C-alpha cells in the first residue's frame, strides 16, 4: 500500500510534468498558476488511494486522478468569480491577478483539458469512469446554481442546503473515490459503498468549511474570515440562525443581509454575535459529527482488508481535523 505522502508526491510530480502550451500566454498561464498554488490534493489522492485499495497497481488511475484535480481547480476559478473572492490559498484569485474574462476562458480550457486527461484511462474502464465523471460535473453545476439561487431567497431549509452542498462539493469526493475503485477492479457494491463514504465525508467537510469562514484563522484558512457573510451567502450557519432566531434577533439578522452598502466589518461582527447568541457553532459541530460517523459506517461496509482502509481513514481524519 502507498502512503498518503507517496500518493501526494505522485500527484504533484505528475502535475508538474503536464505539458501545457505556451501560447496564448493569457490562456495557459492562469491554468499553470492555479495548479501551482498547492492545496491538499485530497481529491486526486482519494482516486489513487481507492484504486490502491483494490489493486497493487495505480498507474492506470494517475491520469483520471489528474483529471479530477484539474476539473476541481476549474470550478474554483469560476466559483471565485461568482463569489467575488479575492484570495484563494493565501494567493490572489485568477480573476483578480488577471481579469474575469481571462479567468472564465482559462477555466473553460481547464474543463476541456480534464476530459483530455480522462480519455487516457484504460478503454475497458472508460464508459463507467466517464459516467461517474459526467455525473459529478453536471452535479457541481446544479449545486452552484442552487447556491446562487439561495442568495435571493429569504429562507432556505436545512434539507435544501444539505442537498446543495452534496451536489456542489461532496459529489466530487464521491466521484473521485468511485473512479479509483472502478479502475482498481472493485465490485459494484464496493464502488457504491466507497462512494457513499466520500459523499458523507464531503458534506461534513463543506459544513466545516462554512464554520471556518466565520470562526477560522485567515492565516491558516487561506480566505478572508466572514467572506460568506459579506457576500450574503446562505451557509449552514445562516440557514440555522434564520430557522431559530425570533423577534428582534430575526429582524436584525434579516436586515444585515438586506441593507445595501453596509460596512463589512460591522456586518460580520453583527451576524457573528447572533450566531453566538443562538449557539449556532455548537449545533453545526454536532451535524458535522453526524455526517462524519455516517462516512465511517459506509467505509466499514467496503469489502477490503482493514489495513487497506487505514489510508482512507487517515485521509478522513486529516480532513476533519482542520480547526482553522
**Other CB atoms within 10 A of residue 107 CB:** 23
**pLDDT tens digits, residue range 97-121?**
999 999 999 999 999 999 999 999 9
Average pLDDT over residues 188-212: 96
In CATH terms, the fold of domain 4-320 is: Farnesyl Diphosphate Synthase (1.10.600)
**pLDDT tens digits, residue range 226-262?**
888 988 888 999 999 999 999 999 999 999 988 878 8
For the chain, domain boundaries: 4-320
Model pLDDT, residue 108: 98
pTM of the predicted protein model: 0.91
Model pLDDT, residue 90: 83
Amino acid at each position: 500500500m502507498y502512503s498518503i505522502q507517496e500518493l501526494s508526491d505522485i500527484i504533484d510530480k505528475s502535475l508538474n510534468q503536464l505539458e501545457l502550451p505556451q501560447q496564448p500566454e493569457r490562456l495557459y498561464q492562469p491554468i499553470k498558476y492555479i495548479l501551482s498554488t498547492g492545496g491538499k490534493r485530497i481529491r486526486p489522492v482519494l482516486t489513487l488511494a481507492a484504486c490502491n485499495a483494490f489493486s497493487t497497481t495505480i498507474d492506470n488511475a494517475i491520469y483520471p486522478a489528474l483529471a479530477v484535480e484539474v476539473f476541481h481547480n476549474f470550478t474554483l476559478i469560476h466559483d471565485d468569480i461568482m463569489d467575488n473572492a479575492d484570495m484563494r490559498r493565501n494567493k490572489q484569485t485568477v480573476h483578480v491577478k488577471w481579469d474575469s474574462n481571462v479567468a472564465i476562458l482559462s477555466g473553460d480550457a481547464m474543463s476541456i483539458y480534464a476530459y483530455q486527461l480522462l480519455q487516457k484511462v484504460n478503454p475497458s474502464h472508460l464508459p463507467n469512469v466517464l459516467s461517474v465523471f459526467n455525473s459529478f460535473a453536471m452535479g457541481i453545476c446544479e449545486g452552484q446554481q442552487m447556491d446562487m439561487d439561495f442568495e435571493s431567497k429569504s429562507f432556505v431549509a436545512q434539507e435544501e442546503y444539505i442537498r446543495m452542498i452534496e451536489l456542489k462539493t461532496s459529489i466530487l469526493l464521491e466521484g473521485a473515490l468511485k473512479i479509483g475503485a472502478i479502475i482498481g477492479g472493485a465490485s459494484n457494491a464496493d464502488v457504491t459503498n466507497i462512494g457513499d463514504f466520500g459523499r458523507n465525508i464531503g458534506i461534513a467537510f463543506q459544513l466545516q468549511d462554512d464554520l471556518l469562514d466565520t470562526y477560522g484563522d485567515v492565516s491558516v484558512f487561506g480566505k478572508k474570515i466572514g467572506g460568506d457573510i459579506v457576500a450574503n451567502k446562505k451557509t449552514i450557519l445562516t440557514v440555522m440562525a434564520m430557522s431559530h432566531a425570533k423577534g428582534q434577533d430575526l429582524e436584525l439578522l434579516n436586515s444585515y443581509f438586506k441593507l445595501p452598502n453596509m460596512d463589512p466589518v460591522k456586518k460580520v461582527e453583527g451576524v457573528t454575535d447572533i450566531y453566538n447568541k443562538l449557539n449556532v457553532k455548537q449545533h453545526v459541530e454536532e451535524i458535522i459529527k453526524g455526517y462524519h460517523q455516517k462516512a465511517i459506517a459506509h467505509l466499514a461496509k467496503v469489502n477490503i482488508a482493514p489495513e487497506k482502509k487505514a489510508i482512507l481513514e487517515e485521509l478522513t481524519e486529516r480532513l476533519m481535523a482542520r480547526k482553522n
